[in-house]
Amino acid sequence: MSLEVLDLVVEIDGRRVVDGVSFDVPDGARLGLIGESGSGKSVTALAVLGLLPDGAVARGSIRWNGAELIGMPDRELARLRGDDIGIVFQEPRTALNPIRTVGRQIAESVRIHTGAGRREARLRAIEEATRVHLPDPETIIDKYPHQLSGGQRQRVAIAMALACRPRLLIADEPTTALDVTIQAEILNLLLSLVDEHGMSLMFITHDLAVLAQVATYGVVLDSGRVIEAAPVQALLTAPASPITQGLLRDATATLWRPEGGA
């Protein structure tokens, strides 16, 4: 179960936002996509899921387990989403439906992909809530998103992404919107779950310090192009491009901050 992206080009309303990106995520690997905002990393993630916004066109090749995802009918893609490939978004405030209980949202993909009934889905939701260490799972699944804290909501989002035990987890800056103290907790949770299930991970961030903790291999993007691709250790110790060197300077600043926690 591997992801192979080859020469991916994405144009939104004629503007090239991803320009010939290639990388592999072999089974069980942890890959980091890193770059400033606007470098095309989130768009790359959405392209993998076939969820690009209106007016966007993707060319090149994205192969999941040998099957070509670009040009695949939406119905077939929908079968992979959530079941084979899960995603956690950046902003936990908006990633949950405000008028559905968190339990129903956690179990949504289970109901879609296994056809589980209400009762079974509820039990699964409690199980998944426990797995992401939400306090008091039996009662919290009947709450609405606005009754939860930011960190709790991101745990719900992780539970949603992992409910069907996908083979690949895409995490799009999952800690950026959180408090520094919560960031470390969420990162550790994510990593332990990825380990436990032997999933592949594609982690998107702008922070090299975070990347160093989660990924073994890093791909540096700038203006939609791959600038540098190397093991994370190499990026940290011997950054080849000025872009990576800049990211390293910013990251070092975070690492040196006393409350950096991580």
Partner 1 sequence: MPRWLRLLWSNGTGRFGLIVMATVALVALVSLLWTPFDPLDADVRNRWAAPSWPHLLGTDGTGRDILSLIMAGTRTTVFVSAGAGIVATVVGIALAALGALTARWMRETVAVLVDILIAFPVLIIAMMISSVWGGSLWVVIWAVGIGFGVNIARVTRPELRRVQQSDFVLAGRASGLTASQNLVRHLLPNVAQVFIVQLSWSMAVAVLAEAGLSYLGFGASVTEPSWGILLADLQRYIGIHPLSVLWPGLAITVTVLALNLLGDALREATDPTLQHRMAEIRTPEVVA
Residue 12 in tokens: 């939104």
Least Å distance, CB 233 to partner 1, is 32
Distance of alpha carbon 14 from alpha carbon 96, whole angstroms: 31
Q: Let me know: does 68 contact 253? Beta carbons within 8 Å.
A: no
If one asks whether residue 94 binds partner 1 (CB under 8 A), the answer comes out as yes
Q: What is the distance between the terminal CA atoms of the chain, rounded to a whole angstrom?
A: 31
Q: Which of 32, 35, 86, 239 binds partner 1 (CB under 8 A)?
A: 86
Q: Lay out the site mask for partner 1 across 34-63 (x = CB under 8 A, - = otherwise).
A: ---------------x-x--xx--------
DSSP state of 81: B
- Bridge-based pairing state of the strands 15-25 and 168-172: unpaired
Q: Which of 157, 158, 162, 169 binds partner 1 (CB under 8 A)?
A: 157
Type of residue numbered 108: E
H or E segment at 24? strand 15-25
SS3 at position 8: strand
- Please identify, using beta-carbon distances, which residue of 194 and 208 lies nearer to partner 1: 194
If one asks whether residue 241 binds partner 1 (CB under 8 A), the answer comes out as no
Q: Which of 33, 43, 62, 108 binds partner 1 (CB under 8 A)?
A: 108
Total residues at the site for partner 1 (CB under 8 A)?
Answer: 34
Q: Which residues bind partner 1 (CB under 8 A)?
A: 49, 51, 54-55, 74-75, 78-83, 86-87, 89, 91, 94-100, 108-109, 112-113, 144, 146-147, 149, 157, 160-161
